[in-house]
Chain A
């Protein structure tokens, strides 16, 4: 009997390790192709399923759109859609990763509003179901050649998420305080130097602060064409010193002399609303119209148009590999892509998110839905905003730049 104990001691860690390996190897493989072979089967399987949509909850218009338009429309197709608000999309990804770690098969998350490195990291960890978007009938309304819909921050989409909205990074300013606005990003940085304390940006990894540093990277590199979209160490080492030097030089001219930064874009928005700074920035410019109308933002708020353009991207709906309600989630993703829902979502009075549909693929009635939308006195239309749209860098860049910024600009202070 004596050797039994040491034996068990030796095998226990090995067994545990094997168990963990088994779990992680399960996790690394996306949960396979959808069992349902046709869209009809998906629809019939989806009846009565409850789909939990995890999405950023800090956007009141977005919440209202989902509650008042998407949820009733899903109910009409037999799917109970529930909105789960999160403070950050990372929370949803984290939940899925934790469920993968614990081997959950019917998790709490069925659909996630996601893009960028959250999507990239999740794909790497096998967090998403893949290969299901080709089944969605409404995918025919999108342009298959649109690189914004086939690549998400450099990560191939591979049918792991269905497009939902397009976004355009936008800088807004108070025209009462800035009568002669700059027309390039370099001009903006020049303005900051000559008006100390009137500008700042959120500290990356905040989504908006992070894209601002990438805009500056494009600017100091002489345009986005000079920055390889795919990440590699050589390009990073060659290009980032100029960026970090520029941001370092800018520090004394920032709010509070750059000794600290707002932690989130909502903090920056509050500074702008309170008149602490003259510029704010956002990925969702459509919200500006309502903020000005409600008197939260100064009446003189305008969108800064930059000659070289700004970064544009798309956001998506992804189904986690731990979801047990995949058919229902697919029905919702398909519904969200319909012309009717996309037009409602694009209405600035409802949400004002830019549509992902290809006008050429729409019928004339469907196109009319978009042509009827009112224009905003504050925000120009998407075709104007997205002129010269710059592509997003690969997710590898985002993480590396955020980390370098943290190490050198934030911790170096």
Chain B
């Protein structure tokens, strides 16, 4: 407890202090010009766009997280096989983790855009699918799914490596086939780490702006992109609105974390 105190204090100062500042700005208590004045105007100014943006962010983060969990879990299973292809998948996952999201997004853009590398190679200019800046946000979802699946895969593989071998051997000796072992041994063993890694991936994709900003379209906007646009707007009154959007983003993220914790409590392995 005492050992953790310095770290906890620093983190608490930044998180609590920062959140309080954002909250105060969103309520009009820290205006750039004019006297401070308590109001909820910032929250209602773009209410429709905020609700739409929250929905869009949820869909993007949700879809990419589900994909990342599916791909990551599969990758973890392949890594557990230990053969050369397992090592290859592990190496690829380890390599893609340190690539920053903004670099990943720029690369995906250069690859998949209308005048990107693939469109030029296939000579498909004009008939290239609308992946970047398209109505389905495919490039954004693809980028998050790719990056986060590597993260999910390594976390799950780490859990499985320490626990699964003996259980799996026992199950195999008792005559369980591959599917049964997957359902009754591997999946339950990896579920807690899958939920934790998935929640981290979800909150990250929900709250970060650079990928959606680089690969998305200008309207509608996910919440973080909207917050950044308002924060950078030349209109002096829009900073409280940006803070309000940030507060909404934080509340949804907190709710996601709480849901994940509630789910974890129901899993026997976690207790």
Rounded to whole Å, the gap between the CB of B27 and the closest CB of chain A is 12
A411 contacts chain B at the CB level, 8 A cutoff? yes
Would A263 and B218 be within 8 Å (CB), given that A24-B34, A94-B231, A274-B114 are in contact? yes
CB-based nearest A residue for B213: A263
Please tell me if the beta carbons of B219 and A406 are within 8 angstroms of each other in the complex: yes
The complex places the Cα of A379 from the Cα of B132 at a distance, in Å, of: 32
B159 close to A (CB within 8 Å):
no
Judge whether A28 is part of the interface by a CB distance below 8 angstroms.
Answer: yes
The reply to whether A125 and B236 form a contact with Cβ atoms under 8 Å apart is yes
Stretch at the interface among A85-93, A240-248, A319-327: A85-93
* A44 sits at the interface (CB 8 A): no
* Docked pose: A91 CA to B233 CA in angstroms: 10
- Bound-complex Cα distance A27 to B32 (A): 9
Flag if A276 contacts B234 (CB, 8 Å): no
Report the nearest B residue to A28, measured CB to CB: B33
Determine whether the beta carbon of B219 is less than 8 Å from that of A97.
no
Contacting residues, chain A, for B181 (C-beta < 8 A)? none
Q: Please determine whether B232 and A101 come into contact, CB atoms closer than 8 angstroms.
A: no
Are A97 and B30 also in contact (CB < 8 A) when A121-B234, A270-B115 are? no
CA distance A259 to B235 in the complex (A): 27
Distance in angstroms between the alpha carbons of A261 and B216 in the assembled complex: 11
Q: Is the CB of A94 within 8 A of B133?
A: no
- What are the residues of chain A within 8 A of B232 when measuring CB–CB? 88, 90-91, 94
A260 in contact with B114 (CB, 8 Å): no
Given contacts A20-B30, A20-B36, A271-B115, A413 and B234 within 8 Å (CB-CB): no
Q: How far, in angstroms, from A124 to B33 measured CA to CA in the complex?
A: 9
Name the CB-closest residue of A to B110: A270
Number of interface residues of B (CB under 8 A): 30
CB of B235 within 8 A of CB of A273, answer no
Which residue of the partner chain B has the closest CB to A267? B133
B147-161 near A? 1/0 per residue, CB < 8 Å = 000000000000000
CB distance from B121 to the nearest CB of A (A): 13
Contact B33 A273 (CB under 8 A): no
Determine the distance from Cα of A104 to Cα of B49 in the docked complex, in whole angstroms.
35
Number of residue pairs A-B, CB distance < 8 angstroms: 84
Set of chain B residues within 8 Å of A271, measured between Cβ atoms: 114-115
Contact string, B121-152, partner A, CB cutoff 8 A, digits 1/0? 00001000010011100000000000000000
8 Å CB contact of A261 from B49, B218, B233:
B218
User: How far is B133's CA from A203's CA once the two chains are assembled, in angstroms?
Assistant: 13
Convert A192-232 into 0s and 1s, putting 1 for each residue whose CB lies closer than 8 angstroms to a CB of B: 00000000000101000000000000000000000000000
- Which A residue sits closest to B220, measured CB to CB? A411
Report the minimum CB–CB distance from A252 to chain B (whole Å): 16
Expressed in whole angstroms, the minimum distance between the Cβ of B184 and any Cβ of chain A is 48
Docked Cα-Cα span, A214 to B45, in Å, equals: 26
CA of A262 to CA of B133, assembled, Å: 8
Name A275's closest neighbour in chain B (CB-CB). Answer: B125
B101 within 8 A of A: no
Chain A residues, Cβ within 8 Å of B36: 17, 20-21
- How far is it, in angstroms, between the C-alpha of A77 and the C-alpha of B125 when the chains are bound? 53
Residue of B nearest to A409 (CB): B219
Is there an interface contact between A276 and B125, defined as CB atoms closer than 8 Å?
yes
Are the C-beta atoms of A24 and B32 separated by less than 8 Å? yes
- Cα distance A310–B49 in the bound complex, in angstroms: 35
**A261 neighbours in B (Cβ, 8 Å):** 217-218
- A17-B35, A276-B125 are contacts. A90–B218 as well, Cβ < 8 Å? no
Contact assessment for A124 and B120 in the assembled complex, using a CB-CB cutoff below 8 Å: no
A111-139: contact bitstring with B at CB < 8 Å (1 yes, 0 no)?
00000011011001100000000000000
Chain A residues lying within 8 Å of B119, measured Cβ to Cβ, are: 274
User: Which residues in chain B, 10-48, are within 8 Å of chain A measured between CB atoms?
Assistant: 29-36
Chain A residues with CB under 8 Å of B31's CB are 24
Answer yes or no: B113 CB below 8 A from chain A CBs.
yes
- The residue in chain A whose Cβ has the minimal distance to the Cβ of B128 is A276
Q: Residues of B contacting A120 with CB < 8 Å?
A: 234
A395 to B36 CA separation, bound complex (whole angstroms) = 25
Chain A contacts for B115, CB-based, 8 A: 270-271, 273-276
Complex CA gap A20/B31 in Å reads 9
Does A291 count as interface, using CB distance less than 8 angstroms?
A: no
CA gap between A269 and B32 in the complex, in Å: 35
User: Given contacts A259-B135, A270-B115, is CB(A125)–CB(B30) below 8 Å?
Assistant: no
Q: Is A410 an interface residue, CB under 8 A from the partner?
A: yes
Shortest Cβ distance from A69 into chain B, in angstroms? 30
Whether A399 is near chain B, meaning CB under 8 Å from some CB there, is yes
A256 at interface, CB cutoff 8 A: yes
- In the bound complex, what is the Cα–Cα distance between A90 and B31 (angstroms)? 18
Q: Is the CB of A125 within 8 A of B32?
A: yes
Partner of B235 from the list A24, A91, A399, A411 (CB cut-off 8 Å) is A399
Query: Cβ of A411 and Cβ of B219 under 8 Å apart?
Result: yes
Most chain A CB within 10 A, of B33, B119, B134, is at: B33
- Find residues 102-120 in chain B having any chain A CB closer than 8 Å to their own CB: 113-115, 119-120
Those of A388-413 within 8 Å (CB) of chain B = 395, 399, 406, 410-411, 413
- Find the B residue at minimum CB distance from A118: B234
Scan residues 219-266 of chain B and give those whose CB is less than 8 A from a CB of chain A. 219-220, 231-236
Check A270–B113 contact: CB distance below 8 A: yes
B residues less than 8 Å from A259 (CB atoms):
135
| Interchain CB contact under 8 A, B235 and A260 | no
Query: Which B residues are in CB contact (< 8 Å) with A125?
Result: 32-33, 236
B residues near A24, Cβ cutoff 8 Å = 31-35
| Residue pair B113, A399 in contact (C-beta under 8 Å) | no
| Least CB distance, B218 to chain A, in whole angstroms | 4
Q: Which of B53-106 contact A (CB under 8 A)?
A: none
* 13 more A-B residue pairs beyond the given contacts A20-B35, A124-B236, A270-B113, with a C-beta to C-beta distance below 8 A: A24-B32, A24-B35, A90-B234, A93-B234, A117-B234, A120-B234, A125-B236, A271-B115, A274-B120, A276-B114, A410-B218, A411-B219, A411-B220
Top 7 nearest A-B pairs by Cβ distance? Answer: A274-B115, A260-B217, A203-B218, A121-B234, A410-B219, A117-B234, A90-B232
List 6 A-B residue pairs with CB atoms under 8 Å apart, sorted by A's residue number.
Answer: A24-B35, A121-B235, A260-B134, A261-B217, A263-B218, A406-B219
Residues of B in contact with A (beta carbons under 8 Å apart): 29-36, 49, 113-115, 119-120, 125, 130, 133-135, 213, 217-220, 231-236
